[in-house]
Amino acid sequence: MAAATRSLFLTCFHSSGSDESGHLTLRPRYPSMPRQPRAAAVAGEGGGGEGGSAAVDLEAAEEEEEEEKVAVFAVSGMTCAACAGSVEKAVKRLPGIHEAAVDVLGGRVQVAFYTALVSEEKIRETIEDVGFGAKLIDEELKEKSILVCRLHIKGMTCTSCANTVESALQAVPGVQRASVALAIEEAEIRYNRRVVAAIQLVNAVEESGFEAILVTAGEDRSRIDLKVDGILNERSAMIVKSSVQALPGVEDIKIDTELQKITISYKPDQTGPRDLIEVIESAGSGHIAVSIYPEADGREQHRNGEITRYRQSFLWSLLFTIPVFLTSMVFMYIPGLKEGLDKKVVNMMSIGELLRWILSTPVQFVIGRKFYTGAYKAMCHGSPNMDVLIALGTNTAYFYSVYSVLRAATSENYVSTDFFETSSMLISFILLGKYLEILAKGKTSEAIAKLMDLAPETATVLMYDKEGNVVSEKEIDSRLIQKNDVIKVIPGGKVASDGFVIWGQSHVNESMITGESRPVAKRKGDTVIGGTVNENGVLHVRATFVGSESALAQIVRLVESAQMAKAPVQKFADQISKVFVPLVILLSFLTWLTWFLAGRFHGYPSSWIPSSMDSFQLALQFGISVMVIACPCALGLATPTAVMVATGVGASQGVLIKGGQALESAQKVDCIVFDKTGTLTIGKPIVVNTRLFKNMVLREFYDYVAAAEVNSEHPLAKAIVEHAKNFHSEETHIWPEARDFISVTGHGVKAKISDKSVIVGNKSFMLSLDIDVPVEASEILMEEEEKAHTGIIVAMDQEIVGIISVSDPIKPNAHEVISYLKSMKVECIMVTGDNWGTAKAIGKEVGIENIIAEAKPEQKAEKVKELQLSGKTVAMVGDGINDSPALVAANVGMAIGAGTDVAIEAADIVLMKSNLEDVITAIDLSRKAFFRIRMNYVWALGYNIIGIPIAAGVLFPSTRFRLPPWVAGAAMAASSVSVVCWSLLLRYYKRPLITQKRQT
């Protein structure tokens, strides 16, 4: 069971995002299945000594048998997972079937098969033989046209910038949806590749005034960046390009001779990084060496570069600003130094003013040039941002100071007042704030970095000879692993790639991926996940999913997408940001005008105005302070930083939250609808009791029952067969042959075993076949239902001979979870397709009073909608295909991680550990995250609501308190940092301990 669960979990992530074209995802379910049909292998073994003609015939035959085709069939009559299993099993029994995937909800089956061994008509007939209608859908599997592209955006400073980029991308024909995240400076675009290309999206961003770097175009292929050491001129680049393009599976190659970088996109089924490196080095005739490009994460490299740039800019600005500050604020109060600085150079212009002018100029125009370029681009596109406010504020202070100093230089009696310290100190503090902000924002992505660090740096690849014997082993960079490589994993080492065990036995710690605390036993045929730790024993693992296809990469991609998605509450900040900067500019002008006119026409008391200022200069300071204290950045960062940290923390706790929408909805949940099987229960039925009504050996009884049930795909049938194996010492016991087998969905099975007619099923099935059910048997069935057991009646030759009790054990912590949820004011409801007796017994045991039993999939969804109409915010927790309609209908769908692919795709939150406690974690984490978001908004809005009036001089008439522009700038810079740091406190989130709650 553990191995099957891990296998299912592994495949869940390989299907994410791959169904864009509306087709099912095919993936090998049996790792040991050969890639080619057995017939091809057999043909290859014979005829080795024949003539050339035979060799040609053999080659042609092999090519024919290697041809693989995919067909889609519309199947009618499927109602549940058991139906799907029956169809899948029947199809896979046919020769030449590579893979089959069944979609119960869509009523379709997608089959990959070898045309030389089986035909579409044969597959259709086989499906009909199982008891379902089948029709070939006349369509080819088209290359998916809808892709998701990711861009890294440089130059965004506030929400207004993000909105500008988002609007520019939305306006591009073929773009279905665009989302821009200011916190991580990325854009995620869902687009139609047949209408628009990824490079056009990059151009659209650059035309809006920002720089864009393509992270991924979203195409279903692998990409690798290689670094070339050696001479790579145009001629050698041409040779390399033609050599690589000749390889099978290579789709695109780009060579940057300046960076000595080669970027190659390829199909991992046909080639791999080692093959590419070997070909490139061969094409270079031994004059070049190739390795993986050192930038493991381009975004992290960009962030580090940005941190370095801001740190250097800040330090350079300090070098000039400190002397400016000292000459204007400190030295003026030191006798001797004051006289020296006041000494006139030309007319009334002093040495101090000239020094401040000289020192502040490089700060204003060299160090602060990024604010000019940012403001220019923003104004060109009609979307003023924070750069506009900074540029206006500092330029106003600087150019007024220049005017004042030049006027003093040309006058014999004008006493100048300069604000050079205002402009230089403003720029310095803003650079410091940006530096601290980027440092803090970098920590919001630590969860992703930790996930990526799970992958080992190196791997040991085994080399085989023609006979299949290991001849050598080689340690390589784990990024160079190719599909079908065999990797050796020693005790204590990390599994370097997703794959399956071909040799060895061990226990693997998968807690870092699945959250399973106990090591999982692994042996030949079992799947393993890259990044997990081998506890004991040596394993040989054949790589199946590498690079971007691995489970780890899929989880990282899911978390990244979640961090890109905006929460609905962020729309509030987006609306404010559209008018924020123009409003602040208008407000600062009105502030200056009010103070200036008041001083000009009414006059100020002499005590109001500092001796060195006049009314114009005082009004100017108030206007500049208003302009620089206003901060839209804090408002724009309030939501995305908290969402980023929360989704990252959730992933580390085994709770994958698919974006801000899910996070916001989860914190409002006041009603949870639970599925029963596999959710409240373990999901693996076991036989708990057997009652016989005839004198017969128990082993003989189970031989008859197992012989009939082994042909059924129903979970209860599998439980009975597993229990029957306990009466036999051999692992692969052969049951008696079942003839005239009939399966009635939801009722039971009937077959001829040896000389007996055996019927296994429920009471209604027996009555429909005119089999008398004695009172004693009916009483036993009622007793078993009260115990939450399912009673299965066994009849032989039209007479009941026994009852088998099967139970699906309740998860150990189910009662505690339900109790804790009730303490959180969350109503709990159970909806199941099982019978009322079993449902009530399970509900009583776990503490759920509101129960709905014998519900079909559509009825589960209807119940969710009914609860929503009554005003509830509903979460649905389930794991099966039949739960997916309800998962979609609910405000928040939570899928158990060991559940089906369909359920996981439909859900908003995936509970990777299959642990009910994670339901509490998801709700509690979302509540704490939105508490942070609300506090961020309170701080960001409160800061502006309080700070702007103070900067405008509201307190000045009564207290003589005024906020110098450089202090206002420092406060503005601190606001963004404080918001990010408040969000970062979520990193220390601790999940609730339900055991402590129960004790209290």
What's the rounded Cα separation, in Å, for the pair 11 and 29?
Answer: 8
Q: Is the pLDDT of residue 706 over 80?
A: yes
Burial of 62 (0-12, 13-18, 19+ CB in 10 A): middle
- Give per-residue burial for 836-861: e unless 16+ CB within 10 Å, then b: ebbbbbbbeebebeebbbebebeebb
Average pLDDT value for residue range 156-164: 77
Instruction: Give the Cβ contact number of residue 950 at 10 Å.
Output: 18
**For residue 752, what pLDDT is reported?**
92
Clarify whether residues 235 and 192 are in a common domain: no
Picking from 255, 278, 295, the residue at the C-terminal end of a domain is: 295
**Could you give the angle at which helices 615-629 and 386-409 cross, rounded to 10 degrees?**
160
Give the pairing type, strands 261-266 and 533-536: unpaired
Q: Is residue 287 part of a domain?
A: yes
Based on the number of CB atoms within 10 Å of its own CB, is 992 exposed (0-12), middle (13-18) or buried (19 or more)?
A: middle
Name the domain count of the chain.
6
Q: Are residues 345 and 424 in the same domain?
A: yes
Indicate whether 728 pLDDT > 60.
Answer: yes
State residue 800's pLDDT score: 93
Residue 760 confidence (pLDDT) above 60 = yes
CA 617 to chain centre: 54
Shared-domain flag, residues 306 and 428:
yes
Q: What is the pLDDT of residue 904?
A: 62
Q: What is the pLDDT of residue 517?
A: 59
Q: How many CA atoms lie within 13 A of 477 on its CB side?
A: 14
Q: Enumerate the β-bridge partners of residue 190.
A: 148, 177
Q: Within this chain, do residues 341 and 403 fall inside the same structural domain, yes or no?
A: yes
Residue 53 domain flag: no
| DSSP code for 602 | I
Q: Given a cut of 80, is residue 350 above it in pLDDT?
A: yes
In a domain, 746, yes or no: yes
The model's pTM is 0.64
Residue 606 located in a structural domain: no
Residue with tokens 């290859």: 44
Q: Are 391 and 371 in contact (CB under 8 A)?
A: yes
Residue that is last in its domain, among 389, 424, 446 = 446
Looking at the structure, do residues 164 and 286 belong to the same domain, yes or no?
A: no
The predicted pLDDT at position 78 comes to: 74
How far does the chain reach from its first CA to its final CA, in angstroms? Answer: 36
For the chain, what percent of residues have pLDDT higher than 70?
82
pLDDT for the residue 42? 34
Average pLDDT, the chain: 79
Of the candidate ranges 57-71, 463-477, 661-675, 804-818, the one whose mean pLDDT is the lowest: 57-71
532 contact partners, CB below 8 Å, separation of at least 6: 494, 495, 508, 509, 510, 512, 513
Helix (H/G/I), strand (E/B), else coil: 73? strand
Domain check: are 288 and 277 in the same one? yes
Q: Quote the CA–CA distance of 971 and 961 in Å, as a whole number.
A: 16
- Residue 536 pLDDT level (bands cut at 50, 70, 90): confident
pLDDT for 401 beyond 50: yes
Q: Is residue 283 one of the residues assigned to a domain?
A: yes
**How many whole angstroms separate alpha carbon 376 and alpha carbon 165?**
15
Cα–Cα distance, 265 to 544 (Å, whole number): 19
Q: Does one domain contain both 515 and 504? A: yes
Task: Please determine, for residue 659, whether its predicted confidence score (pLDDT) is greater than 70.
Answer: yes
pLDDT bracket for residue 748 (50, 70, 90)? confident
Distance of CA 550 to the CA centre of its chain: 13
More confident residue, 595 or 542: 542
Residues 6 or more apart whose Cβ sits within 8 Å of residue 960: 607, 608
Average pLDDT over residues 526-539: 87
Burial of 71 (0-12, 13-18, 19+ CB in 10 A): buried
pLDDT (tens digit per residue) in 92-110? 888 888 778 777 666 778 8
Write out the H or E segment, with its range, that includes residue 290. Answer: strand 289-292
Mean of pLDDT values over 483-509: 89
pLDDT of residue 995: 54
On the question of pLDDT at 266 being above 90, the answer is: no
Flag whether pLDDT at 465 surpasses 70: yes
Tell me whether strands 458-464 and 470-477 are parallel, antiparallel or unpaired: antiparallel
Residue 886: predicted pLDDT: 84
Verify that 703 and 803 share a domain, yes or no: yes
**What mean pLDDT do residues 383-392 have?**
79
pLDDT at 828: 94
Beta carbons of 102 and 902 less than 8 angstroms apart? no
In the prediction, which pLDDT does 34 show?
34
Which pLDDT score, from 0 to 100, does residue 319 have?
93
Distances from the Cα of 648 to the Cαs of 135, 144, 556, 561, 920, in angstroms?
45, 30, 10, 11, 17
Q: Read off the pLDDT of residues 951-977 as tens digits, 9 standing for 90 and up.
A: 888 888 888 788 888 777 777 777 778
When pLDDT is averaged across residues 465-481 and rounded to a whole number, the result is: 84
**In the prediction, which pLDDT does 623 show?**
85
- Asked if residue 150 and residue 136 are part of one domain, the reply reads no
- Indicate if 237 and 317 belong to the same structural domain: no
**Measured between alpha carbons, how far is 789 from 806 in angstroms, rounded to an integer?**
6
Q: Is 790 helix (H, G, I), strand (E, B) or coil?
A: strand
- Using the 3D structure, point to which of 217, 232, 263 is the last residue of a domain: 217
CATH code of the domain in which 208 resides: 3.30.70.100
Same domain, 429 and 310: yes
909 part of a folded domain: no
In a domain, 457, yes or no: no
* CATH classification at residue 534: 2.70.150.10
794 domain residue, yes or no? yes
Highest mean pLDDT among 182-186, 519-523, 544-548, 556-560: 519-523
Q: Indicate the pairing of strand 827-831 with strand 850-852.
A: parallel
Reported confidence tier of residue 443, pLDDT bands at 50, 70, 90:
low
Between 468 and 493, where is the model more confident? 493
Flag the least confident range among 96-100, 433-437, 513-517.
513-517
378 and 310: one domain?
A: yes
- Which domain covers residue 174, as residue numbers? 145-217
Q: Does pLDDT of 31 surpass 60?
A: no
